[in-house]
A and B are shown apart, each in its own frame.
Chain A
Amino acid sequence: MTEHEWAERFNIEVDALLEAGEASKADATPDSYQQNLELAQRLARTDFSAESHMRQSLRRQLMNQVDSRDVWKLQPAQGTNTMNRTTPFAARRNFAFVAVALVLIAAVALTTPGRTLADGILRRIGAITLSNEPTTIQEIAGQPLPTPDPSLPTPTPLVVSMFTLEEASAVAGFPVYEVGDLPAGYNLMGRWANTLDNGVVNVRTEYQLFTDDTFHFLSLSQDRYPADLPDELLQQEIGDAPVSDVKVRGQAGLWVEQAPLLGQGDEGGKIQPLGVNLLLWEEDGTQFTLRSDTLSQTEMLHIAESLTP
């Protein structure tokens, strides 16, 4: 038999397998052919969906949209495409803002393990060490910004998976907090909880103020670290950003002003650092970090005081 004939026979038997749920025993076929049928059966029976963290919360969210007709508010006008609801400029700008936010989130994340522990240790707060070493964004500053491909479709609004407080607390193993008194215009955008292989437990709650003209963010992290985690994984570079002592929820905390953790493109298409304000403290064995591009120390302290589980 030629390869085409084998392929044709194989596909007929696979379709029968998908209908019946079992592979037939093919007579007078090479072992490899029979192994392929067994592999097809294994593929058809494998189900990864139990590992999903958002199956029920997404179902609730979508059913609520149907119930409240929110979904139809997203509908474009008749004859237009959902992908093109915003102008190309607005879409590119919005996408840039999202990308900037991702840079921020990424750059604020713990340092990469390839680095060595910095000599320039500034302060310690809980498990975290702040150092005046250059940040990741500072290291790549001046490099060309990736150029968006104009042929690519306009990005659709981001849909993020959202844990409820209960779901996030269950994954984390400790109470997850939310901001009780959000600044005007800010909305909850997402909540994630994750346990990494190295034992780090991370919960992140994102709020954004997002209009046609403005984008600002507020991010709350709650992290727990195993005692044997290497120091270099607990280091946060902040460049030459000033650090001051503050009292947060009755705990000793640190305020970092405009640490260069955020990236944006300049007019020449090069990456330039932007500042992020950080409020850090430890409470009940959990490392808390509030991050914002624009909120002041007074506003961030007020937000911290409003946190509730």
Chain B
Amino acid sequence: MNGTAKILANEGVLIARATSEPSAFGAIYNHYFPQVYNYIRYRVRDAHTTDDLTAQTFERALVNLRRYHPERAPFGAWLFGIARHTVEDHFRTHRRRRWLSWDALVHHTDPEPQPDEVATRKDAQDALLEAMAHLKDRDRDLIALKFAAGLSNRRIAELTNLSESNVGVILYRAMNKLRDALKQVEANHD
């Protein structure tokens, strides 16, 4: 494992050509879209926000692609660094203008699901997201970097300014918490 679990074949060539050849960028996009989407989805829960932040991530990546240096980090680690900053920017902005949040007001127009609706929502993905929502943001970040992005603990450590051993311990504890939360969520749904 060199830092990114799912490497694209001919990735180096495609990246070099992606600034001038749409098909090369399209191939990179196709490969990384699910990973970036899943990383952001685990962190923000809301599908529409995930779409927006995924779009911002790829837009930033495209604009900055010429500054990517393969000798410094694998492309996946660089891309998830951008995704992570995009999510953090979103959280900061959201906190700053919470009072005028579009999402919040739309949510007000959309009544909370009734208990019987919640009870029937047994989809495994929903349960996983619901359990993730019980974790602290740092724990969600690490789990998403590990399992959605497929990064090694060393790459996660570089992105998060934690030591590699700390990443391992925090991840282990986060998985314990997620397992307990998931049991609780699934018990509530049964």
Where the two chains meet, the residues of A that have a C-beta atom closer than 8 Å to any C-beta of B are 3-4, 6-8, 10-11, 14-15, 18-19, 32, 35-36, 39-40, 42-44, 46-49, 51-55, 58-59, 62-67, 71, 74-75, 82, 99, 102-103, 105-107, 109-110, 112-114, 140, 146, 148-149, 152-153, 155-156, 159-161, 192, 194, 196-198, 200, 233, 263
Measured in the bound complex, the distance between the Cα atoms of B128 and A30 in whole Å is 22
Task: Please give the residue numbers on chain B whose beta carbons come within 8 Å of chain A beta carbons, in ascending order.
Answer: 1, 5, 18-23, 25-26, 29-30, 33-34, 37-38, 41, 47-48, 50-52, 54-56, 58-60, 62-64, 66, 89, 92-93, 96-102, 104-106, 108-111, 113, 117, 124-125, 128, 143, 146-148, 150, 152-153, 165, 168-169, 171-173, 175-176, 178-179, 182
- Chain B residue numbers with a CB within 8 Å of A159 are 52, 55-56, 59
User: For A51, what are the chain B residues with a Cβ–Cβ distance below 8 Å?
Assistant: 47
Does the CB pair A66–B19 fall under 8 Å? Answer: yes
A112–B98 alpha-carbon span in the complex (Å): 16
In whole Å, how far is A105's beta carbon from the nearest beta carbon of chain B?
Answer: 6
Closest beta carbon of chain B to A80's beta carbon, Å = 11
- Given A63-B22, A156-B89, 12 more contacts at CB 8 Å? A7-B168, A10-B175, A36-B175, A82-B63, A99-B97, A102-B102, A152-B96, A159-B59, A160-B52, A161-B48, A197-B110, A200-B110
Residue of B nearest to A38 (CB): B179
A238 to chain B, nearest CB (A): 17
Q: Which residues of A contact B105 (CB under 8 A)?
A: 106-107, 109, 112
B100 pairs with A103, CB closer than 8 A:
yes
The 6 closest A-B pairs by CB, nearest first: A7-B172, A63-B22, A43-B147, A49-B34, A49-B37, A106-B105
Distance, CA A43 to CA B146, complexed state (A): 9
Contacts of B147 in A (CB 8 A): 18, 40, 43-44, 46
- Indicate if the CB atoms of A153 and B89 lie closer than 8 Å: yes
Q: How far, in angstroms, from A44 to B34 measured CA to CA in the complex?
A: 12
Contacts of A49 in B (CB 8 A): 33-34, 37-38, 41
Q: Is the interface of A mostly helix, strand, loop or mixed?
A: helix
Which residue of B62, B111, B128 contacts A43 across the interface (Cβ within 8 Å)?
B128
Nearest B-chain residue to A95, judged by Cβ: B93
Q: Kindly identify which residue among B26, B38, B54 contacts A46, using a CB–CB cutoff of 8 Å.
A: B38
Q: Which residues of A contact B182 (CB under 8 A)?
A: 39
Cβ of B169: which chain A residues have Cβ within 8 Å of it?
Answer: 3-4, 7
* Residues in chain B near residue A107, CB distance under 8 A: 105
Contacts of A10 on B, CB cut-off 8 Å?
A: 168, 171-172, 175
Is the pair A64, B22 in contact by a Cβ cutoff of 8 Å? yes
